[in-house]
Amino acid sequence: MEEWRYIQGLLDKIRSTGMGGISADDPAAIEKLQKKLDGLERSQLIMKEVNAYYRKHGKLDGCALLSPDQIEKLKASMASSWRSDPRPFESYQLTNNNAEIRRVKARIEQLSKQAQQEFSGWEFDGGRVEMNREDNRLQVFFDGKPDADTRAELKSSGFRWAPSVGAWQRQLTDNAIRAADRLECIKPLSGEKPSQLQKKPSILQTMREQGEKVQTEPEKKAPSGRDAER
């Protein structure tokens, strides 16, 4: 256990990246994840190179990839290992680190896809749904207070009441849209599923654009003289 703790601490130092959770709500989430990924990939390369150096020279002394202090600690760890042929970094460490690389890559891909996706809100009987990209929230606004059954239905689908904005909301993700598909209480007036509306312009946006178009269009003058006769 002591060896495991030491190795984990050494890997953290080599990676030089934060290992804390990165929330999708963080505007810099992709940037932070990319930084973490760079550190993990650098760590993987270093571990492989250190192992290769050890295989070639049979020792760690003189390895430019490690500081003198790291070399001494690795040597001590290898000397106390129960393995008959210990290596500076064992295969399970490379495997675990590689698995974390794949996980972070998948997370970056997911958030990048989500950032490019255009979500559309809709109106339902008794309120409206808005996609708040700035706060990364799917928000449900009711004209009045929903009944107990509706509130229970929203809660069971991951929505929570946010008094600060006066809406029921949850994180804006594909899962949120799928959850909305199952909620009869916020079913779009068009009769379509919320997921189907995501391929179309926002209903609210379309209505606003049409209203602006009517206001900005110049009034047509009534024809006069010969034009009127024609």
CA dist list (Å): 227 to 30, 161, 221, 222, 230: 63, 62, 11, 9, 5
Would the pTM count as exceeding 0.75? no
Mean pLDDT of 86-91: 91
Please report the pLDDT score of residue 228 as a whole number.
43
Q: How confident is the model at residue 229 (pLDDT cuts 50, 70, 90)?
A: very low
- Residues 22-78: pLDDT tens digits? 665 566 777 888 888 998 999 999 999 999 999 999 999 999 988 999 999 999 989
Please report the pLDDT score of residue 126 as a whole number.
93
Please report the pLDDT score of residue 136 as a whole number.
83
Contact status, residue 186 vs residue 124, Cβ threshold 8 Å: yes
| Alpha-carbon span 221 to 25, nearest angstrom | 53
Please report the pLDDT score of residue 204 as a whole number.
45
Contact status, residue 182 vs residue 193, Cβ threshold 8 Å: no
pLDDT exceeds cutoff 50 at 210: yes
Among 141-145, 170-174, 209-213, the least confident range: 209-213
| Alpha-carbon span 7 to 88, nearest angstrom | 10
Place of tokens 């995501």: 198
Q: Cβ-count burial of 131 within 10 angstroms (0-12 exposed, 13-18 middle, 19+ buried)?
A: buried
Mean pLDDT of 209-224: 51
| Alpha-carbon span 214 to 230, nearest angstrom | 27
Take residue 29 and report the two structure tokens written for it.
């989430």
- Residues 109-152: pLDDT tens digits? 877 766 555 567 889 999 999 988 778 889 999 999 999 999 99
